[in-house]
Amino acid sequence: MKKTIKISPFNRAEGDLEIKVGLENGKVTEAYASGVMFRGFERLLKGRDPMDALVFTPRICGICSASHSTACSNALRVAFKAKMPPNAYLARNIILATEVLLSHLTHFYLFFVVDLVNKKYLPSRAHRELAKRFAPFEGSSYSKFIRARTNLLGVLGLFAGKWPNTLALQPGGTTRPFNLSEIIRAKGILVEFQNFLEQDLLGSEIKGWLENKNLPDIDFWMGEDSHENSDLGIFIKSAPQFGLDKIGKGPGKFLSSGGYELADGRTWLKSGYFDGEFKSFNEGKITEDIKYSWLKGYEKGRHPFEGVTEPDVDKPGAYSWAKSPRYSGNVVEVGPLARMINDRDPLVLNLVSDLGPSVYTRVLARLHEGVRLLKQLKIWLEEIDPSQPFYIKPEKPKEAEGKGLTEAARGVLGHWIIIEKDKIKNYQVITPTTWNVSPRDSHGNPGAVEEALIGTSVEDEKNPVEIAHIIRSYDPCLFCTVHALKMNKPIATFELAVQGIIKRGYL
C-alpha cells in the first residue's frame, strides 16, 4: 500500500525545510527535500561595491557567519590579488575552527541526540539514561553543554571582535589584532571547554580518544575506565542497537575543498574527491542545476561564475528554492564525514570501510573532527606572534573575478564574484546544505539527503523518527540555503514569492 509522509516544517533544523517521502510496504521509495523560502542575497549584491559583500554575506547565516566571512574574504583576496601575513592565517583559522567546533557540539547535544529519547526507544534499557542526559532543557548533559557553549563563545569575542557578523576578516587578513594577554585568556577558555569535553563527552583525555584508529580500538576504549558511561560512550552503545549504523547511506561520494589555509599554501585538512578512489579536488568541476528549482535562466548545469538566480514561482515540476550543485556531474556528500575521509583520517576510514556511510558514522565523524579541532586550536594559539602584523591593505581592481572556498561546519562553502567597473556584476554562493539537501538535477538524480532516505524502513508513519535520524545526521541549515528578500523591482518581489508559497500550500 502506497502512502505519503509530509513533514513541514522539519523541526530542529535551522531554517525552513520540508520533507516529503513516499512509502510502500513501510519502506521509502521516493523522497523530496524542499527549501521553501527564496534566498535573494545574490540579487541583493548586484551593482554594489565589492567590499559590501563582507557586510552582507555573513548575514546569510547567524550560525556559520564566520564561515561566510572566510569564503567572501577569500574570494575578494583572489580578485584583489591580496597578500596576508602569517598571523592572519592563524587568526582566521582560530575563528573558523571555534565556530565549527561550536556547531558540531551544538548539533550533537541540541539537535541530534534528542531523537534518541523518542518514544520508539522506550522499551530499550538505555532509554532512562538517555532521557536523563539528553532530554531537551532538563537533561544533565544538555544543560551542561549550553553552559560550556556560552563560555567557548568568548574565544570568538576575543579574536573576531564580535560574533556573529564580524567584519574582522578582510581580503588582506584580519583587522582584529590581539595581544599576549588576550591569547592567554583564550587559552584559559579552551582549557575550560576541554574539561567539559574530557569529563562529559569523552570520559577520557583527548589524547586517549585520538589514539583510536579502528573499530577494535573503539571497543577496547569503551571497556577502559568509565568511557562507556560518557556521553559519547552512551551514543556508541545505543546507536547500533537502534539501527543507526544501517540507515542513511547516501550517494557514497565525498567532496572536500580542503580546510584551514596555512601560510605555506597548504590546507590543514586535505582537499579531495572520494568515490571509492582518492582523487584531487578541481573547483572547475562544480556546477549548479536548476531544473527542479523555482528559478529560471538556463538549462542543465552551469559553473557558478556563469550562475543566474532569477525566481520563477510558477515553474512546472519545481519543488525547492535550493539549486542542485554537482561535482563532475555527480551527487556528492559534503561535511565532516567527507572531510575526514579525504583527509585520510585512519579512524573514519576504518569506520566507513567496515560499516559503510550511515547515520552512525556521519555523527561519529562529526564528533571526532570536533576533538581534532580543539587539539589544533591550542597549537595555532601557540604559533601566533602578537608583535607581528595581522593585516596587509590590498589594492582594489576595477575589473576582476575571484573564488573563495572554505570548509564550514556542514561542508564545502563557496563564494564566486565578478567585478566590472568597480561594482559587483555577479555574486554566487553554494552552501553546504545546498550540496546535501538539493533537489533532483536535470538527469533526475536525487540530492544526497533524498538518496539517503530511499530504502529506509519506517516502523510508525505517525512517528517517522528514522527519517529524522537520517536528515539530522547531515545537520541541514536552511538559513544558509534559502532566504526571503523584499525587493523594490517588479520582478520576483517578496509578495510574488509569498503568493507562490501560498499557492503550493506552504502557508
Q: DSSP class of residue 402?
A: E
DSSP string covering 438-451: ----TT----HHHH
Question: What mean pLDDT is reported for the chain?
Answer: 91
Q: Please report the pLDDT score of residue 202 as a whole number.
A: 97
Q: What is the pLDDT of residue 14?
A: 61
> DSSP string spanning 134-162?
HSTTTSHHHHHHHHHHHHHHHHHHHHHSS
Give the Cα separation of 419 and 423 in Å (integer): 5
pLDDT at 12: 67
Whether pTM exceeds 0.75? yes
490 compared with 23, residue with greater pLDDT: 23
Which amino acid type is present at position 416?
Answer: W
At 347, the amino acid letter reads: L
3 state SS of 417: strand
The mean per-residue pLDDT over the stretch 106-124 comes to 94
Average pLDDT over residues 194-213: 97
Lowest mean pLDDT across 60-69, 81-90, 417-426: 60-69
Q: Which of 21-25, 59-63, 443-447, 454-458 has the lowest mean pLDDT?
A: 59-63
Domain 36-503 indexed as CATH 1.20.120.1230: no
Residue 505: pLDDT band by 50, 70, 90 thresholds?
very low
For every residue of 35-92, which 3-state class applies, written as one string?
A: ECCCCCHHHHHCCCCHHHHHHHHHHHCCCCHHHHHHHHHHHHHHHHCCCCCHHHHHHH
pLDDT at 494: 32
Given a cut of 90, is residue 156 above it in pLDDT? yes
Residue 213 has pLDDT above 90, yes or no: yes
